[in-house]
Amino acid sequence: MNIDEIKRKNLIIFESVSGSRAYGLDTPASDTDIKGVFLLPKKDFYGLDYISQISNSTNDIVYYEFNRFMELLSLNNPNILELLSAPKDTILYKHPFLNEIKPELILSKLCKNTFGKYALSQIKKAKGLKKKIVNPIDKKRKTLLSFCYVNYENGSVLLPEFLKINNYKQKNCGLTKIPHMKNMYALFYNEKADYRGIIKNELSNDISLSSVPKGEKQVALVYFNKEEYSRYCKEYKEYWEWVKNRNEARYQSTQKHGKKYDAKNMMHTFRLLQMAIEIAKEKKIKVKRDDREFLLNIKNGKYEYEDLLIMAKEKQEEMEEAFAKSDLQEKPDRNAINELTYKIRDRFYRER
């Protein structure tokens, strides 16, 4: 089942514009995100073909099956709570039965964790992008040799430099393990010996060991920093996957404001923390933002990254205090939500 099918079969019971246009944070370049709820036919719901969620390839259009929608509401999921309280001017269709789902039944102190953790994840994303922008990784992948060090003149040098100094070819080198010395190897060199070299090829992930004739003279001691090499391989893969899949328009926006962090992630950090504070104090979800100017200033890179981290910590403390004083229920009444879910679904099926 796909989006076209649930539309053709009239299974959609709620549909709304979401994201930046619902928050009132859209700009001329903003995409239009759609979220909604659909109801599976009775045969599919009770059979083996239950589908909890349907989306398009870019995930900017997402529909949740009614039971999944109610389950996520019971967990105080931020995206689903926003959908429940979508501004009237963003709602494209809403079945009257859904008016029975009241925010006061759903909202609880769980929002401190769900909104708070989501906000902190946005900071983590912004940090991750900042690291990638400030520390780009060359497309040419380093070989294992760049993580090997040789003792030299009361110090150490990288193995490729040592080979160059001595006019050695790595294919004529032989390595043997040194007992009781982790990642340490004895280096031998002989152009006539049948050594295996230090690595088989540039993509090798481990040292090549050779059989060394008795009496052969060791020329150096080699240390392979295996942990550093593994870390580099992981970061290399993550970086170039990010380059391949990144939103280029968003990346160029980040480059344009010159602050070297993902300002959109940081904007959502403050939006989520402020929404959580409003839930604790006012017991309602304010999707359309009153703090539009402040949030867009963050998105446009008006603040230094370090200043935003300080401000986010202060906002987090404000959220913690607001929930400590709040008389919201500790968590939603799952039995009541379960009963409501059954009654609404039963009414839908009887009506159809």
Q: In the structure, what pLDDT confidence band is assigned to residue 241 with cuts at 50, 70 and 90?
A: confident
Q: What are φ and ψ of residue 99, in 5° steps? A: -65, -15
The range of the structural domain enclosing residue 132 comes to 109-138+247-328
pLDDT at residue number 239 = 77
234 domain residue, yes or no: no
Residue-wise pLDDT tens digits, 196-233? 999 998 888 999 999 998 889 999 999 999 999 999 99
Same domain flag for 99 and 113 = no
Residue with tokens 């150096």: 220
Q: Name which of 5-19, 146-160, 236-250 the model is least confident about.
A: 236-250
Mean of the per-residue pLDDT values of the chain: 89
pTM above 0.75, yes or no: no
pLDDT at residue number 263 = 81
Residue-wise pLDDT tens digits, 144-200? 999 999 988 888 999 999 999 999 999 999 999 999 999 999 999 999 999 999 999
The total number of structural domains that make up the chain: 3
- Compute the chain's Rg from CA coordinates: 29
Over range 299-315, report the average pLDDT. 88
Domain closes at, from 227, 257, 292: 227
Q: Which range, 37-41, 114-118, 249-253, 262-266, has the best average confidence (pLDDT)?
A: 37-41
Same domain flag for 99 and 129 = no
Same domain flag for 26 and 100 = yes
Strands of the chain (E only): list them.
12-18, 33-38, 53-55, 61-65, 91-94, 148-152, 155-158, 173-177, 184-189, 218-224
Q: In this structure, what CATH number is given to the domain that contains residue 100? A: 3.30.460
Q: Would the pLDDT of 240 be above 90? A: no
Q: List Cβ neighbours of 274 (8 Å cut-off, separation of 6 or more).
A: 289, 291, 315
